């Protein structure tokens, strides 16, 4: 038994890769029902902030994610857009992250908006990519002051001023809430939007980046935050529409279990190898 | 002269953005209720920054094209990779420029094939590989050799389980306060927040000093 356990110390990583692949595929193929705890304070905060926006109000979404963080950010965008559509809240989408972001935002939002009967230009607008390589701070600040100077055309090339919704959005004061969904949202949104204008800001981030933002939840500078797929799944439960987040949080369960099991296996192997070494000496 | 010009532009830009942020949006009524005089220029100044940084972004592909073309002409090692880069760059530019412009449906198909079929698939695959590396690293490196490592392992397990429904399932029979998600929330909201604030204060102090040095051109090596 001891010798067998000691072999775990030098286990061929290919076995681990195989086990991980199986563990990740199972929950994507078979829907495994698992209990969902109540929504965290961060998730509830975002839900309440959206609920506080009156029907017909305008929300700004900065969707700055691409392929790299699609696994978590897509569900976070989807559930919030669905909630906005349920409440007939209009929204403007920007992408300060990468050039690919507007395309992913469009693909994610379009079917939900169409299903809700939202008309592009009147109920929602994808304003496209805003180059921010010079630093986010001046771009956020300028967008807040005069949206039309920074973005002159939407993602389809239509002049911003020609879109009915954008005639109502000139500054950040015309927006009730800003929701930033990306791999690791920049705290500059808090400094330049909440700090300067008082407009509430909420984040949607990858779960591994979440520890960086708890301090802003605690200080109430962030009104809410969706953390990984768990946050999206909690939000989907609040709006009573289980979807991508719920499904992917199951896969994350198995992925996290794989990491814990690998650490346990490695440690068991190490202890057994040490014990065998002491006996041999 | 050139160095002085760079310093002047840096100092002027820094002063503009600093004063714009620090000056009140509107002075009190007894001071005339005047608005911040710099604020109206902020969107235009930002547009200028966007244009300049867009030029800088273009420098990357231009340098790559020059380098790879040189490699191909000189028949150096790595010219095959260079050729692949140049072909994909040219095809991508053509596909992205013509996509959606109603020129020919083939351009839309080409764009979708390149963007979703190649680029997205490659990127997603390379990110997905991280899951396997993470599991392998947990097996090889996450060793409990002492008390500190044990504490870290315990904390990591609580966080990993507390962030997923599996944790809820494992501890659903326990009273609410003992469920793993509450423990995870406590770790993230209390000890983690304290540490994050301490780190942030240190980082901000360093960033302030570095920014101040750059703004005033202290120790700058611009020639």
Q: Per residue in B163-185, pLDDT tens?
A: 888 898 898 888 878 889 889 98
| pTM score, whole prediction | 0.88
Q: pLDDT over 90 for what percent of chain A? A: 68
Instruction: Mark yes or no for CB contact A259/B127 under 8 Å.
Output: no
Task: Tell which of A102, A186, A210, A214 to mutate to test the B interface (max B CBs under 10 Å).
Answer: A214
**A179 backbone φψ class: left, alpha, beta (φ>0; ψ -120 to 50):** beta
Cα–Cα distance list, B162 to A43, A46, B69, B82, B184 (Å)? 15, 20, 53, 47, 5
- Cα–Cα distance for residue pair A89/A96, rounded to 1 Å: 22
Phi, psi torsion values for A39, nearest 5 degrees? -65, 145
- Cα–Cα distance for residue pair A160/A139, rounded to 1 Å: 17
- DSSP characters over A190-257: IIIIIIHH---EEEEE-GGGGGGTHHHHHTTSSSEEEEHHHHHHHHHHHTT---HHHHHHHHHHHHHH
> Edge-to-edge, what's the strand order for the sheet holding A201-205?
A124-129, A90-95, A58-63, A177-181, A201-205, A224-227
Task: Tell which of A26, A74, A138, A208 to mutate to test the B interface (max B CBs under 10 Å).
Answer: A138
The residue ranking higher by pLDDT, A77 or B109, is A77
Cross-strand partners of A94: A62, A128
Residue B188's closest CA among A232, A207, A224?
Answer: A207
Asked if residue A181 lies in contact with residue A59, where contact means CB atoms within 8 angstroms, the answer is: no
Instruction: Mark yes or no for CB contact B172/A70 under 8 Å.
Output: no
Give the relative orientation of helices B121-141 and A13-29 as an angle to the nearest 10 degrees: 130
Q: Is the pLDDT of residue B87 over 70?
A: yes
Half-sphere exposure of A143 (CA within 13 A, CB side): 27
| Beta strands in chain A, from DSSP E residues, in sequence order | 58-63, 90-95, 124-129, 177-181, 201-205, 224-227
Residue spans of the domains in chain B: they are 151-207
- Cα–Cα distance for residue pair B203/A40, rounded to 1 Å: 29
In the block, which residue shows the tokens 């412009």? Answer: B101
The percent helix, strand, coil of chain A (3-state, each to 5) is 60, 10, 30
How confident is the model over A126-162, as pLDDT tens digits? 999 988 777 788 899 889 999 998 888 999 889 999 9
Categorize the per-residue pLDDT at B74 as very low, low, confident or very high, splitting at 50, 70 and 90: very high
Instruction: Mark yes or no for CB contact B124/A265 under 8 Å.
Output: no
How confident is the model over B46-62, as pLDDT tens digits? 888 888 888 877 888 89
Q: By three-state DSSP, how is residue A181 classified?
A: strand
The 10 Å Cβ neighbour count of residue A146 is 19
């Amino acid at each position: 038994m001891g010798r067998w356990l000691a072999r775990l110390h030098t286990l061929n990583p290919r076995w681990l890769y195989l086990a991980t692949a199986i563990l990740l595929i199972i929950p994507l193929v078979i829907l495994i029902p698992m209990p969902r705890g109540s929504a965290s304070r961060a998730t509830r905060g975002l839900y309440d902030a959206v609920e506080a926006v009156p029907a017909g109000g305008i929300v700004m979404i900065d969707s700055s994610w691409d392929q790299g963080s699609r696994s978590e950010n897509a569900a976070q965008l989807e559930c919030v857009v669905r909630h906005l559509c349920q409440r007939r809240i209009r929204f403007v989408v920007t992408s300060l992250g990468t050039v690919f972001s507007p395309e992913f935002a469009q693909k994610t939002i379009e079917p939900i908006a169409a299903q809700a009967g939202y008309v592009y230009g009147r109920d929602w607008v994808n304003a496209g990519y805003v180059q921010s390589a010079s630093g986010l701070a001046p771009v956020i600040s300028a967008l807040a002051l005069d949206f039309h100077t920074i973005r002159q055309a939407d993602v389809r090339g239509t002049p911003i001023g020609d879109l009915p919704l954008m005639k109502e959005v000139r500054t950040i004061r015309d927006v009730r809430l800003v929701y930033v969904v990306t791999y690791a949202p920049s705290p500059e949104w808090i400094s330049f939007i909440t700090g300067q204008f008082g407009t509430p800001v909420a984040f949607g981030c990858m779960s591994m980046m979440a520890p960086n933002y708890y301090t802003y939840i605690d200080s109430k500078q962030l009104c809410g935050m969706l953390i990984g797929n768990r946050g999206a799944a909690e939000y989907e439960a609040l709006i009573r529409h289980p979807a991508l987040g719920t499904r992917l949080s199951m896969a994350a369960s198995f992925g996290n279990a794989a990491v814990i099991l690998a650490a346990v296996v490695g440690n068991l192997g190490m202890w057994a190898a040490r014990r065998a070494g002491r006996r041999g000496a | 002269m050139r160095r002085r010009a760079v310093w002047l532009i840096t100092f002027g830009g820094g002063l503009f953005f600093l004063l714009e942020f620090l000056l009140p949006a509107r002075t009190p009524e007894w001071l005339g209720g005047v608005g911040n005089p710099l604020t109206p220029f902020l969107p235009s100044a930002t547009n200028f920054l966007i244009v300049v940084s867009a030029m800088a972004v273009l420098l990357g592909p231009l340098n790559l094209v020059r380098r790879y073309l040189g490699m191909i002409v000189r028949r150096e090692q790595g010219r095959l990779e260079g050729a692949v880069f140049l072909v994909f760059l040219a095809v991508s530019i053509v596909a992205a420029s013509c996509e959606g412009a109603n020129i020919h449906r083939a351009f839309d198909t080409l764009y979708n094939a390149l963007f979703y079929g190649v680029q997205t698939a490659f990127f997603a695959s390379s990110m997905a590989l991280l899951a396997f590396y993470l599991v392998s690293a947990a097996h090889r490196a996450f060793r409990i050799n002492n008390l500190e490592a044990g504490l870290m392992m315990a904390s990591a397990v609580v966080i990993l389980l507390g962030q997923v429904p599996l944790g809820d399932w494992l501890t659903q029979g326990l009273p609410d306060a003992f469920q793993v998600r509450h423990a995870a929330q406590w770790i993230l909201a209390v000890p983690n927040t304290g540490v994050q604030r301490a780190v942030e204060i240190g980082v901000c102090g360093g960033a302030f000093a570095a920014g101040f040095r750059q703004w005033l051109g202290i120790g700058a090596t611009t020639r």
